[in-house]
Amino acid sequence: MKLKLMAACALAVLACAAPAAAQPKPTAADAKAFVTNAEAQLDKVNAFANRAQWVRANFITEDTQWLEAKANAEQNELVTRLATEAAKFNGVATDPVTARKLKLLKLYLVSPAPNRPGAAEELAGLVTKLDSTYSSGKFPYKGKPITLNDAEAVMAESRDPAELKAVWEGWHGTAKVMKGDYARFAALSNEGAVGLGFKDTGALWRSNYDMDPDAFAAETDRLWTQVEPFYKNLHCYVRARLNEKYGDAVQPKTGPIRADLLGNMWAQTWGKIYDVVQPKTVSSSYNLDKLLQDNGYDPVKIVKTGEGFYSSLGYAPLPQTFWERSLIVRPKDREVVCHASAWDLDDKNDIRIKMCTKVDGEDFRTVHHELGHNYYQRAYQAQPTLFRNGANDGFHEAIGDFAALSASTPTYLNQIGLLQTVPGADEDIPFLLKMALDKIAFLPFGLMVDRWRWEVFAGEVKPEQYNDAWWALRLKYQGLVPPGPRPADAFDPGAKYHVAGNTPYTRYFLAHIYQFQFHRAACAQAGWKGPLHRCSVYGQKAVGEKFEKMMALGQSQPWPQTLAVFSGETRTDASAVAEYFKPLDAWLKVQNKGQQCGW
């Protein structure tokens, strides 16, 4: 062996030179220089990736999918390399800002690629393919192919259980082709997360909340415990009304609810069946869908109204480029990703939304929500690259939801001239029930989507168990069952955009709690004396100024400190949810007397 080594040295003297001197240990100055350089590289690669993603989402073709996959692969490869290099500064005593940037660099990607040739390209290709498969999905119905948008309209409007079942099964059937790709994606993502020092991708996601991953999981359990009793009261009431409507053969009086009867493809919100479950003794004097239509609203006017809410808080108008470059109405000539989203393409002022806006109350609130992302993005644009994000991802969702809470009130509808008279307290129960059918009904779904993925990433659920595990969680948290037996090859998780589109979902659960904390704090600052559910902060510039200070911090410090800037609180707390809905919870308990609640 020694002779072979000497012979090799004779042929390649440089390769066998004396060992290099030990490298000096990296310093705090080295760490600071590294993150500065890393941010410059991220700015460059993100600028291209953002536009590639925008073009693919607005023009779904083979070519745009290829372009996005290439851009995503380059982005993933760069961040994976930078995150790996950041590890060499472990143990280096750096300043707090640099230390936080090094930490966030490791958490930058939702799904990092393995650090080996070809892995980033394969992962990016899978991510783009899954997203595009979902977004271009169609299934035959009444002799013609229909899109998810068409199917959602049937789910919202039909009261024929056979029709609901057919449309529900049709859309969920489009996802089964994704199962193999999703399993491969999960394996690659896990490999990349392990390479960065995380247990798996789920642990990486849970590490993004300024606490230990297991502690964060326990924190979500605590929050669910706070709201679960109210959800079960709502479930009990809605099940009884569905039983009255459809009879025992369709919806039994006890046990879980059939998932396709709740007006939404995923039964994540139930507001579309308000006509079925509305109180028998008092009705609402207005319908927001009808108000919008009767007052000549179109999709652009809805977005202009949303902008007006933020302007009333003292924020600058949206740039002209927003109106020129946003997608506000579904085009008729091409496939697009209709799932509503907000975009910041240049970390400066090129902010946009992309949604196929309908003239109804749901999209009226959605516009206020999506614009919240844009105003948040604008507020923290002066932060360094690695701090240009929400305090945590739940904050990013909650900012717009906070605005939508005000925008949902008859107080606000009166302030903007949509409603001539604010109803009296006798209409509080109808109003709160409508809100609960969306806000409270959502909470268990917001929790269980990532619970399923955490189990998948942890290896606790194998591909052949994907669907059974999904429905086990839906039963556990939501008390729901599918309308009939599911096929052996079903992949129902993939029928939800955020699974196919690889978007973490616990953020929405958190947002449904943060928004009420923000709302309670804002109403107190505005001097509101009435019930919390009637408060609108429209026109409250002092509230807007203080809210801006919180938003401007981005992700520059741990989120509890940022929360305290506006609300004075340092912990996520669902007591504001309970306060908002207190009259309804008491009413539900009376309605449910004699019922066998739970499932």
**pLDDT surpasses 70 at 13:** no
**pLDDT surpasses 70 at 22:** no
**pLDDT surpasses 70 at 16:** no
**pLDDT surpasses 90 at 23:** no
Where is 354: in which H helix or E strand? strand 351-354
% of the chain beyond a pLDDT of 90: 87
pLDDT digits (tens, 9 = 90+) for 137-150: 999 999 999 999 89
Which residues fall within 8 angstroms of residue 398, CB to CB, at 6 or more apart? 510, 511, 512, 513, 514, 515, 518
Q: How much is the pLDDT for 17?
A: 45
Backbone angles phi, psi at 139, to 5 degrees: -145, 155
Least confident piece of the model among 145-159, 311-325, 331-345:
331-345
Residue 333 contacts residue 134 (beta carbons within 8 Å): no
Q: How much is the pLDDT for 12?
A: 38
Q: How much is the pLDDT for 335?
A: 86
Among the options 68, 77, 370, 397, which is catalytic?
370
State the DSSP string of 256-285.
PEEGGGSSSTTSS--GGGHHHHS-SS---S
Confidence of residue 531 (pLDDT cuts 50, 70, 90): very high
Among the options 498, 512, 519, 533, which is catalytic?
498
- How far apart CA 228 and CA 576 sit, in angstroms, is 14
Q: How much is the pLDDT for 356?
A: 93
pLDDT digits (tens, 9 = 90+) for 242-268: 999 999 999 999 999 999 999 999 999
Backbone angles phi, psi at 401, to 5 degrees: -65, -35
In this prediction, residues 359-382 reach a mean pLDDT of 95
Give the chain's length. Answer: 599
Q: How much is the pLDDT for 15?
A: 41
- Average pLDDT of the chain is 93
pLDDT digits (tens, 9 = 90+) for 297-308: 999 999 999 999
Where is 481: in which H helix or E strand? strand 480-481
Confidence of residue 232 (pLDDT cuts 50, 70, 90): very high
To which residue do tokens 């069946």 refer? 273
Residue 126 contacts residue 188 (beta carbons within 8 Å): yes
- One-letter amino acid of 597: C
Smallest Cα–Cα separation from 406: which of 508, 210, 510, 543? 543
pLDDT digits (tens, 9 = 90+) for 371-427: 999 999 999 999 999 999 999 999 999 999 999 999 999 999 999 999 999 999 999
Q: Is 152 a catalytic residue?
A: no
Which residue stretches of 136-212 are H helix? 148-157, 161-173, 179-195, 201-206
- Listed in order, strand segments (DSSP E) in 284-347 are 341-344
pLDDT digits (tens, 9 = 90+) for 74-96: 998 898 899 889 888 988 999 99
Q: How much is the pLDDT for 3?
A: 33
**pLDDT surpasses 80 at 18:** no
State the DSSP string of 406-461.
HHTSHHHHHHTTS-SS---GGGHHHHHHHHHHHHHHHHHHHHHHHHHHHHHHTTSS
Which residues fall within 8 angstroms of residue 186, CB to CB, at 6 or more apart? 201, 456, 457
- How far apart CA 408 and CA 434 sit, in angstroms, is 10
Tokens of 26: 């990296």
**pLDDT surpasses 80 at 6:** no
Q: How much is the pLDDT for 14?
A: 36
Residue 593 CB neighbour total at 10 angstroms:
6
Which residues fall within 8 angstroms of residue 472, CB to CB, at 6 or more apart? none
SS3 341: strand
Where is 145: in which H helix or E strand? strand 144-146
Single pTM value for the model: 0.89
- How far apart CA 135 and CA 147 sit, in angstroms, is 9
pLDDT digits (tens, 9 = 90+) for 558-567: 999 999 999 9
Q: Is 370 a catalytic residue?
A: yes
Torsion sign across C-alpha atoms 590, 591, 596, 599: negative
Among 103-107, 177-181, 332-336, top mean pLDDT goes to 177-181
Q: How much is the pLDDT for 21?
A: 55
Residue 393 contacts residue 504 (beta carbons within 8 Å): yes
Tell how strand 341-344 and strand 257-258 pair up: unpaired
- How far apart CA 212 and CA 95 sit, in angstroms, is 22
pLDDT digits (tens, 9 = 90+) for 273-296: 999 999 988 888 889 999 999 999
Distances (CA, A) of 316 to 60, 351, 536: 33, 13, 20
- How far apart CA 364 and CA 407 sit, in angstroms, is 8
% of the chain beyond a pLDDT of 70: 96
